[in-house]
A = this chain, B = another copy of it.
Amino acid sequence: MKRNSRLSLALHTLSHMAGDPGRMRTSADIAAHAGTNPVVVRRVLGRLREAGLLVSEKGHAGGWRLARDPQDISLADVYLALDERLVATTDMDETPSCSVEHALQKRVTGVLEEIEENLVKRLGETSIAEMCHTEHH
């Protein structure tokens, strides 16, 4: 796998699950489908569970399934659960040297934040249920 692999893995898995909710899947099965490792799958899906998108069960016949209706899970939910922050930088140089520099930094950061918000908004407009339908516009 390559870049954005966590988001990609999460979206693929949830979209797949949306096609047959209620069915329990093991991390081994999911890993085989995604061509990766069960532990990696559990790591990524663990975050989605923390965000309330998935539930997992231990023991025999355990595994993973959606925590709620596929139509109620948006791409933004997945994105935010993974805490990616694709556009916005976490922080910049700590030494603004002068107040003008500082103001500029804040403005650049602000614009990037705005773009990030817009990205999340766009992601929020699509549910994973829409991803698994065969007839997608």
Q: How large is the interface on A (under 10, 10 to 19, 20 to 34, 35 or more residues)?
A: 35 or more
Of A40-48, A52-60, A63-71, A102-110, the stretch lying at the interface with chain B is A102-110
Considering the chains assembled together, what is the distance between the CA atoms of A94 and B34 in angstroms? 10
Residues in B whose Cβ lies below 8 Å from that of A95: 35
Considering the chains assembled together, what is the distance between the CA atoms of A136 and B89 in angstroms? 20
Pairwise interchain contact A15-B104, C-beta atoms closer than 8 A: yes
Binary per-residue interface labels of chain A (1-30) against chain B in the complex, 1 for a CB within 8 Å, 0 otherwise? 111110110011001100000000000000
- The residue in chain B whose Cβ has the minimal distance to the Cβ of A115 is B122
Q: List 24 A-B contacts (CB under 8 A).
A: A1-B92, A2-B89, A3-B85, A3-B89, A4-B87, A4-B88, A4-B89, A5-B89, A8-B108, A11-B108, A11-B112, A12-B104, A15-B108, A16-B104, A75-B111, A75-B115, A87-B119, A107-B131, A108-B131, A111-B126, A111-B131, A115-B122, A118-B119, A119-B119
Which A residues have a C-beta under 8 Å from some C-beta of B? 1-5, 7-8, 11-12, 15-16, 33-35, 75, 85-95, 97, 101, 103-105, 107-108, 110-112, 115, 118-119, 122-123, 126, 131-132, 134, 136
